[in-house]
């Protein structure tokens, strides 16, 4: 009976915000000081939210089974969604190890890993209409039709797709893992 190797990938999403500053200035036009009170209420909503819609899943693999690929559009690809203000831009970058390591530190075997990232900023979750993100990251508008948007529909959704391949060689049984981090910087 062939040996079975379990492959687990941990997808983490890291979001950072560069900066937001609010300055309030008060000017007095009268030389005589009069006490004035202003009741100011601010409702602040998040500028960006991200959700993991589906985990990247290579499933259980058999030792020496060779290359296993998840293509763009396959049911096992990882899917993220980002909801943001329709004129926002995001910088996307996918960080991942060259190989998955066995959870047992005494085992030195690993599984080579190749990943890719694509995005669809049309507002629909359709990998067929997606564009690849360069391997060194990319600066992308959250929605491609910002000039045509109505003022009533200010929140838009972008979809991100993670896909790739692993190579299963002659490795011992076990659980092989790696941290995959999708960084989303926005302004």
Distance CA 55, CA 98 (A): 19
Say which CATH topology domain 4-18+47-186 has.
Immunoglobulin-like (2.60.40)
Predicted local confidence at residue 28, as pLDDT: 33
Helix (H, G, I), strand (E, B) or coil at 18: coil
Q: Which residues of 130-152 are buried (b: 16+ CB within 10 A; e: fewer)?
A: beebeeeebebbbbeeeeeeeee
Q: pLDDT-derived band of residue 180, with 50, 70 and 90 as boundaries?
A: confident
Predicted local confidence at residue 40, as pLDDT: 66
Beta bridge partners of 51: 81
Predicted local confidence at residue 35, as pLDDT: 59
Phi, then psi, of 146 in degrees rounded to 5: -65, -30
In the predicted model, what is the mean pLDDT of the chain? 79
The residue among 180 and 46 whose pLDDT is bigger is 180
Please write the tens of the pLDDT for every residue from 89-121. 899 999 999 999 999 999 999 999 999 999 999
Instruction: Tell me the percentage of the chain whose pLDDT exceeds 90.
Output: 43
pTM of the model: 0.75
pLDDT at 1 over 60: no
pLDDT at 81 over 80: yes
Please write the tens of the pLDDT for every residue from 2-60. 445 455 444 455 555 433 323 223 333 344 455 566 666 655 555 788 888 998 888 88
Please write the tens of the pLDDT for every residue from 111-155. 999 999 999 999 899 999 999 999 888 899 988 775 555 556 788
In the chain, the DSSP E strands lie at 4-7, 10-17, 48-54, 60-62, 66-70, 78-85, 89-95, 99-102, 110-120, 131-132, 138-141, 155-168, 174-177, 179-186
């Amino acid at each position: 009976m062939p040996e079975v190797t379990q492959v687990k990938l941990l997808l983490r999403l890291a979001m950072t915000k560069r900066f937001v500053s609010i300055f309030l200035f008060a000017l007095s036009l009268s030389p005589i000081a009069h006490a004035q009170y202003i009741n100011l209420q601010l409702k602040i909503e998040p500028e960006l939210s991200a959700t993991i819609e589906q985990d990247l899943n290579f499933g259980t693999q058999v030792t020496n089974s060779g290359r296993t690929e998840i293509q763009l559009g396959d049911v096992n690809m990882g899917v993220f969604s980002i909801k943001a203000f329709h004129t926002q831009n995001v910088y996307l970058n996918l960080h991942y190890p060259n190989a998955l390591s066995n959870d047992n530190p005494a085992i030195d075997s690993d599984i080579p890993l190749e990943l890719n990232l694509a995005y669809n900023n049309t507002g629909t979750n359709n990998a067929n209409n997606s564009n690849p993100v360069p391997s060194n990251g990319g600066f992308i508008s959250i929605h491609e039709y910002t000039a045509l948007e109505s003022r009533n529909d200010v929140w838009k959704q972008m979809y991100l797709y993670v896909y790739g391949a692993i190579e299963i060689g002659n490795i011992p049984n076990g659980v092989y893992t790696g941290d995959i981090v999708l960084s989303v910087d926005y302004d």
